[in-house]
């Protein structure tokens, strides 16, 4: 696996970061707007936004006293859509989904 692949997987490997990306599919938002939509604290969302910026999936622009965040590349929308398509094709019953593997691998 390449470093680039590992970087992308790391960026997607968190429910808050995924929620941020899903919300930013609808356009630029500031931290307060994201906090109102995602079940997490403002400081936690800010930390995850920093990670997403470091991974170059999100970019920020300043408007007045606020920073607004948006997807850095339109292909991210395609990636999230494709992930949903693959998940749907796996036909996992919602109530039986477990994040961990049965073999308890880390």
Q: Spell out the residues 6+ positions from residue 46 whose beta carbon is closer than 8 angstroms to its own.
A: 31
Is 100 inside a domain boundary? Answer: no
pLDDT score for 104: 56
Our CA angle for 99, 6, 78, nearest 5°, is 75
Is 25 inside a domain boundary? Answer: yes
Which CATH number fits the domain that encloses residue 71? Answer: 1.10.10.10
Provide the whole-model pTM: 0.86
Q: What is the DSSP letter of 58?
A: E
Q: Spell out the residues 6+ positions from residue 41 whose beta carbon is closer than 8 angstroms to its own.
A: 35
Query: For 28, how many CA atoms within 13 A lie in the half-sphere containing its CB?
Result: 11
How many domains does the chain fold into? 1
Is 48 inside a domain boundary? Answer: yes
pLDDT digits (tens, 9 = 90+) for 18-54: 999 999 999 999 999 999 999 999 999 999 999 999 9
Q: Which domain holds residue 69?
A: 3-90
Is 26 inside a domain boundary? Answer: yes
């Amino acid at each position: 696996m390449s470093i680039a692949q590992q970087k992308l997987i790391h960026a997607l490997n968190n429910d808050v970061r995924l929620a941020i990306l899903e919300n930013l599919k609808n356009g630029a938002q500031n931290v307060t707007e994201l906090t109102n939509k995602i079940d997490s604290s403002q400081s936690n969302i800010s930390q995850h936004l920093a990670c997403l910026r470091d991974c170059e999936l999100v970019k920020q622009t300043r408007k007045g006293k606020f920073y607004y965040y948006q997807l850095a590349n339109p292909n991210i929308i395609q990636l999230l859509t494709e992930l949903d398509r693959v998940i749907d094709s796996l036909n996992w019953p919602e109530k039986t989904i477990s994040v961990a593997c049965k073999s308890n691998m880390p």
